[in-house]
Structure 1
Amino acid sequence: MNLLHLPDYPTAFWVTAVFVMILTGLGKSGFGSGIGALATPLLALTIPVADAAALLLPLLIIMDIFTLPHYYRERRFDGYHLRILLLSSIIGIAIGAYFFDTMSHNERVMKMGIGALAVLFVLIQVGRTLILGALSEEKPGPWIGWLMGALGGFTSTVAHAGGPPVTIYLVPQNLPRDRYVGTTVLLFAGVNLIKLIPYYFLGLLRLGNVTTVLLLSPLAFIGVRLGIWLNQRFNNTWFTRLIYTFLFLTGIQLLTGQNLLALLFTAP
């Protein structure tokens, strides 16, 4: 196989991929909460869901390699909560792999599933203050951690969007900010590595994607640097709201199978 050969993706994919990689880098820098969840749904508008998920996984692992050492060397993580979430995520990863295995032949169902997760992500983020407020009086116990870890493993496997369930469990623990961030960084670095196993056996990892990954990976780091610069100068509240609106509309489009822009500008 010629590793330098680019997949025959439409032009819309490459335009979208540039945007997605920069957004993913912004999310890794901490600018714009949860914006990385937009990556898979957006790419799924232009290529099959399985291709989008498989293409993003090595890119996420590359970014993990550069962010992981800082938190691990300094022990800036909580080992107790990390163990609960990482072990329980394996259950969710297995369920997510089963979903891929049984539904990958039906692209419509796959797109609807990703669309539903996108809409659910936005609803969770919007209602997160109320949820966390209800949990703030008492720290969630280990069983909540196992439940949210498993759910995060599933959503991470299917759409690389495991953050919201983990947040519901981890934020009320009132960890110092650096330990909270470090715990999530180590968690998803581990989750991404574990996901390589089912992705491999499901045939989602392809050597033909190597060139695409190499071409797109620098854009993610541009996004990281841009995010650091923006963090020092701007409030990301309105940017995050815009991203959530975009993610919600993308989810609706995947669910309905309709081009929302075309519907908007088409005369009745």
Structure 2
Amino acid sequence: MCTLTYIPIDNKNFIFTTNRDEDPNRIALPPDKYINNNIESLYPKDPEGNGTWMLCNKYFSVCLLNGAFVKHKHEPPYKKSRGLVVLEYEKFKNTIEFVLNFDFVGIEPFTMIVVRYNSEILMEEVRWDGSSVHYKKLDPKRAEIWSSSTLYDETAKKMRKAWFVDWKMMDDISYSKVLDFHKNAGCNDLFNGLVMNRKELVKTTSITQIIHDKLGIRMRYEDLRTKEVTEKYMTKEKSLN
């Protein structure tokens, strides 16, 4: 929700990992399978907004971060929770259709990264800044990191990107090494580290990871408060492998 990395394993597979920075009193449910719009998907749930920040199914994976390009003024009430946007994305046959037809007005700014997989990997970025929608295709062969604009300014984003660039120079990147990065990068900086804690008002509460490989699609969710780990699996379309 507030830090996201994408790591390509090869031309057909990837690791998608996010740290959720939130009010520690806001509880989340570990991932489970749900059917929405006749599609079975896997995601953790935010009971307060009844939505999610990260989702996967046999067609695509999605992650939403708060804010677009810069920190915006919080001006409630909003029409709906941003977590519902992730679920409503499933109603559309592709991201272009979503951009052209979804009603963004009245929703707080966000950044949404979509990874679609069928005959090939397609990665897309959608940003809603409160007045305009910004869409672009991304290179699925390139590792990337995103940081929420509501919590991290440009200086912090550049510093975190430098940590990421230094880290990804290592050989033999695995999902466990990606988790280690998400737990330990900037560990001496509680304000801007990947696991952050700003005086117990906002802190990193969980790490969610989607692994898309030859074995299928799986989601690993670690609650950093309780130390409980939940893993769920689902099959994928066979056309990629």
- Asked if Structure 1 and Structure 2 have the same fold, meaning a TM-score greater than 0.5 normalized by the shorter chain, the answer is no
Higher-Rg structure is: 1
| TM-score, structure 2 normalization | 0.32
Q: Greater helix share, 1 or 2?
A: 1
**Larger relative contact order, structure 1 or 2 (CA cutoff 8 Å, min sep 6):** 1
Q: Greater strand share, 1 or 2?
A: 2
| TM-score, structure 1 normalization | 0.30
